[in-house]
Amino acid sequence: MRAVLTGDIINSREEIGWQQELVAILDQYGTSPKYWEIYRGDSFQLEVDAAKALKVAIHIKAVIKMRTELDVRIAIGIGNKTYTAAQITQANGSAFIHSGTAFDAIKNNTLVLQSDYKDFDETLNIMLALATLTMDNWPPVTAAIVKARLEAPELNQTELSKQLDKAQSAISKALSRAGYDEVTKMLTYYKKQIETL
C-alpha cells in the first residue's frame, strides 16, 4: 500500500530560504522527480510507503514550523499506485486520487487523511484535528526539538540534549509542550491500523 502526501506551504512569501529545507527533507524519503516534486513554487507531492506516511507528514511539519511565519497543509492519500511515471505528478492510482481529493477539501485543517476505509479515515481525522491543535502552534525551538527526536528516536533525552546543546530539562519541557508522547501514541495507533487494512 502506498501513500501520497500533497501539501503546500502556508505564508510561503513571508520568509525566504525555506525551499532548501523542504528539498532536504523530501530528499530523505526518495528521489525527485519520481517520488517527490515541488510545483507552483510552494506546493509539493511525495510518495512513500503507507506505514510511514503520518510520521513523514509530522516530520515535514516540524521542519517547516522551525520558521516563525510558516506552516504547512498536508493531505495524505492512502491506496494503490496503478501507473508509475518518471514524474510523481504524472503517476496515478487511488493513493493519488485520495490525496488530491482530501487536499481540495482540507479547509481549516492542516493535516488530513483519506483512504478507501471510511471508518479508519473518520477516526484518524478526529485524532489529526486534535493533534494539530498543538502542532500548529509549535514555536520554532519546539519544532526543532521534535524534528531532532523524530530523526533520532533511539537517543534518550540526555543524548538528545548533548546533540542539540540544550539542557536536558529544556528538551523534556519542549517535548511535553509539543505533545510528543501523544503524537508517538498516535503514530503507533496509525501504524497498527495500516497493517490491518
pLDDT value, residue 17: 92
| Mean pLDDT, rounded, for 119-130 | 98
| Mean pLDDT, rounded, for 97-103 | 98
Cα 64 to its chain centre, rounded Å, is: 10
pLDDT grade, residue 63 (50/70/90)? Answer: very high
| Mean pLDDT, rounded, for 125-150 | 98
pLDDT grade, residue 78 (50/70/90)? Answer: very high
* Type of residue at 92: N
What average pLDDT does the structure give for the chain?
A: 97
How many degrees, rounded to 5, is the angle at CA 72 between CA 20 and CA 96?
A: 95
Q: Closest Cα partner for 96 from 22, 26, 46, 170?
A: 46
CATH of segment(s) 2-196: 3.30.70.270
pLDDT grade, residue 2 (50/70/90)? Answer: very high
* Type of residue at 176: S
Total-model pTM: 0.97
| Mean pLDDT, rounded, for 136-140 | 98
pLDDT value, residue 176: 97
Indicate the SS3 state at residue 22.
Answer: helix
Task: Please tell me the distance from the alpha carbon of residue 185 to that of residue 23, in angstroms, as a whole number.
Answer: 28
Residue 94 confidence (pLDDT) above 90: yes
| Mean pLDDT, rounded, for 89-97 | 97
pLDDT value, residue 107: 87
Cβ neighbour number for residue 21 with a 10 Å cutoff: 15
Task: Please tell me the distance from the alpha carbon of residue 59 to that of residue 21, in angstroms, as a whole number.
Answer: 12
| Mean pLDDT, rounded, for 5-13 | 97
- The full DSSP string for 56-100 is HHHHHHHHHHTSTT-EEEEEEEEE---B--SSGGG-BSHHHHHHH
What tens digit of pLDDT does each residue of 148-179 get?
A: 999 999 999 999 999 999 999 999 999 999 99
Q: For residue 173, what are the CA distances in angstroms to 87, 134, 170, 179?
A: 42, 14, 5, 10
**H/E run at residue 10:** strand 2-10
Read off the C-alpha cell for 165: 546543546
Q: Which residues pair with 115 in a beta bridge?
A: none
Task: Please tell me the distance from the alpha carbon of residue 96 to that of residue 179, in angstroms, as a whole number.
Answer: 30
pLDDT grade, residue 61 (50/70/90)? Answer: very high
* Type of residue at 37: E
Q: Is the Cβ–Cβ distance between 57 and 74 less than 8 Å?
A: yes
